[in-house]
Structure 1
């Protein structure tokens, strides 16, 4: 059975649905829909050279690759290759074809170092190492049962602190962009990133079809955003927090925990039954917060790195 690789297109509905189906089968902890894939294809910054790929056999998508440069990094040449093959279609060469096509694309656009998230299973790790990648940091996926679990009770904000939904900033989201940029810069990572392009952030984050401004919670101190918990949903029953953080001047006061608890309670009230999030294994403070909420680790990925040339 012949396997071929082609670029994902925003007008190819069957491929978009196949991409989402494979990603859900291989990595069920991350929210993705055909609509979110089409949005990324048409809205990501040109400097990312974003080129997702699909591996196809007998007309069916059996593998996917997310391929792009980290254009927000001050250090040029940082490429990303995240390959996932449907668990029922492994060992057919799809992964190797996807890696080869991804590396060719990124090399052509000046990549000098490649990063890949790899599901922490022996076969996946052997595959990555056989292609010249070496293990780096790790990250956990965490799941919380919103339908049957028990959330910590809501707490009244301390004096001078107010909780508001992200949708209250619809007229001017820039304060949330500035807060997101500051907290993202301090996240543990192999690659430093800097959000400096407000218009790109609007397209890629604020206007993303999975982003829920209504379920995002912002903690204000004396009227200014100081902490937040950003939410995404799949339009069904699954909800995820994709970034939770606090401005440097306000850390140590429990504001991120306060914001996330408010968002979780509102997500459950809105009918969402599962909550997902992710943590770098070295991010002790956030791991402690998520354990306090009742999240349980449901998967782990290892970051692999390959230097080129």
Structure 2
């Protein structure tokens, strides 16, 4: 069996379906659709040098890689390479070929430090370490059974707070961009991000096909978003939280919990049966909130780092 690595071909539906099929098998707790992937490929910021790769054997897609530069970080030269192989097609060399192609691409565009998320399983971690990567921080994927679980009861907003949906900001989502930028800056991470490009945020977050303004909940104080829970869906039965956070001036008042509970109740009423989210392992406050909702850890991944060049 000969394994080859090639680029995802724009406009070829089978490539996008194959990419998503492998991702769903390897990472069922991360929402991905062919249409969403096609959107990202067509509209990703040019400075990201985004390059999704496929590993193919006898016409079957057996591995994928998401490859690009962290263009929205104040530290230049950072890249990412996230490799996933069909769980029943491992040990055929696909992963190694994908890593090699990804590293060559990133090095050609000036990357000197590479980051890779690796599922916390012995074989995966050994693979990363064989390729010169060292372990850094970890993060959890969490799952909530919306169909059969019990959500906390809905609560009325406290005086001076109003609950709205993301759709209410359709004409001017900039206040949500500003809140997203502020909360992301305070997220625990080994990569610093700066959301300063509103047009890029519109393309990559707000207008992304998986984004659901209707299920996004926003707690508003004095006419300004104070906390929010950004929702995404796969168009089927899976709902995911892209970000939940509170502006610094309003933290400690339970507003993020209020917004997320509102979004989860509306997602369940809309027929979604599973809810997914992710938390850095060091983000104790958000993990506590998600535990309160009934989320359970379903997988853990480890961030691996390699210096090159």
TM-score, scaled to structure 2:
0.99
Q: Secondary structure at the match of 2:10?
A: coil
What is the CA deviation profile of residues 182-227 of structure 1, one whole-angstrom value per residue up to 9, with x for unaligned ones?
0001101111000000001000001000000000000001111000
Q: CA deviation at 1:8?
A: 1.0
What is the rounded CA distance, in whole Å, between the counterparts of 1:83 and 1:28 in structure 2?
15
Alignment of 1:106-125 (within 5 A): 106-125=106-125
What is the rounded CA distance, in whole Å, between the counterparts of 1:224 and 1:33 in structure 2?
33
What is the rounded CA distance, in whole Å, between the counterparts of 1:289 and 1:9 in structure 2?
41
Q: CA deviation at 1:9?
A: 2.5
What is the rounded CA distance, in whole Å, between the counterparts of 1:275 and 1:263 in structure 2?
11
Alignment of 1:1-309 (within 5 A): 1-309=1-309
What is the rounded CA distance, in whole Å, between the counterparts of 2:54 and 2:219 in structure 1?
41
What is the rounded CA distance, in whole Å, between the counterparts of 1:31 and 1:9 in structure 2?
21
Q: Secondary structure at the match of 1:88?
A: coil
What is the rounded CA distance, in whole Å, between the counterparts of 1:246 and 1:224 in structure 2?
12
CA RMSD of aligned residues (A): 0.5
Q: Secondary structure at the match of 1:89?
A: coil
Q: CA deviation at 1:59?
A: 0.6
* Cα pair 1:135 1:303 within 8 Å, conserved: yes
What is the CA deviation profile of residues 43-102 of structure 1, one whole-angstrom value per residue up to 9, with x for unaligned ones?
110000000100000111000000010100000000000000000000000000000000
TM-score, scaled to structure 1:
0.99
Q: CA deviation at 1:10?
A: 2.5
Q: CA deviation at 1:119?
A: 0.6
Q: Which sections of structure 1, spanning at least 5 residues, go unmatched?
A: none
Q: Secondary structure at the match of 2:252?
A: coil
Q: Secondary structure at the match of 1:106?
A: helix
What is the rounded CA distance, in whole Å, between the counterparts of 2:118 and 2:37 in structure 1?
20
Q: CA deviation at 1:284?
A: 0.4
What is the rounded CA distance, in whole Å, between the counterparts of 1:54 and 1:94 in structure 2?
9
- 53-62 vs 9-18, which deviates more? 9-18
Segments ≥4 residues shifted beyond 4 Å: none
Q: Secondary structure at the match of 1:213?
A: coil
* Cα pair 1:144 1:296 within 8 Å, conserved: yes
* Cα pair 1:64 1:98 within 8 Å, conserved: yes
Q: Which sections of structure 2, spanning at least 5 residues, go unmatched?
A: none
Q: Secondary structure at the match of 1:22?
A: helix
What is the rounded CA distance, in whole Å, between the counterparts of 2:12 and 2:77 in structure 1?
30
The size of the alignment, in residue pairs, is 309
Q: Secondary structure at the match of 2:214?
A: strand
